[in-house]
Amino acid sequence: MKKIQILGTGCPKCKKLTENAESAAKELGIEYEIEKVTDINEIMSFGVMMTPALAVDGQVKSVGKVISPNEIKKMLV
C-alpha cells in the first residue's frame, strides 16, 4: 500500500499533478491511496515551499513542478 500525497493549495497545476499520479499508480497496478494536502501549514511541515509537490509514504519526491506519469512511476517502485 503506497500512500501518495499531493501538496498544493489547489491551483490548476496541483490538479494536473494529482491526475498524473493517479494514472501512474493505476498503470503500475499497485494498491495506493491519494491524499491532497491543501493546508499551508501542513505543507510547510513537509519542508515544501514550492507547490505542487509530491510525497510518497511521507517522503518528498518532487517539488515545484508537474511531473509526468512516467516520472511518477519511477518514484512509486
Partner 1 sequence: MDFKNEWKKLLFIATVFLACFYLPVGSSRFDNAVGESLHLVKWYAREHVLLCLVPAFFIAGAISVFVSQASVMKYLGARANKVLAYGVASVSGTVLAVCSCTVLPLFAGIYKMGAGLGPATAFLYSGPAINVLAIILTARILGLELGVARAAGAILFSIIIGLLMHIIYRKEEEQKTTAQMAMPEPQTARPLWKNALYFASMVGILVFANWARSGDVRAVFLCCPGGLTTYQVEGALISKTEQSLKILDTSGETHEVPGELLQQVEDVGKNSIYELIYRIRWLLVVLLLGGFSLMVLGWFTKHEIGEWLAATWGFAKQILPLLLLGVLASGFLLGRPDPAHEGVIPAKWINAAVGGNSIRANLFASVAGAFMYFATLTEVPILQGLLGAGMGKGPALALLLAGPALSLPSMLVLRSIMGTQKTAVYVSLVIVMATISGMIFGAIWG
The residues of the shown chain that bind partner 1, judged by CB under 8 A, are 9-13, 39-41, 43-51, 53, 60, 62-65
Whether 1 is catalytic:
no
- If the CB atoms of residues 30 and 71 are measured against partner 1, the closer one turns out to be 71
Contact 63, 50 (CB under 8 A): yes
Task: Considering the complex, state which of residue 15 and residue 73 has its C-beta at the smaller distance from partner 1.
Answer: 15
Q: Closer to partner 1 at the Cβ: 16 or 30?
A: 16
CB of 76 to partner 1, least distance (A): 19
Q: What's the CA gap between 69 and 53, in Å, rounded? A: 14
Q: Return the C-alpha torsion angle 38, 23, 3, 60, nearest 10.
A: -60
Amino acid symbol at 27: E
Is 40 annotated as catalytic?
A: no
| Polymer length of the chain | 77
Catalytic residue ranges: 11, 14
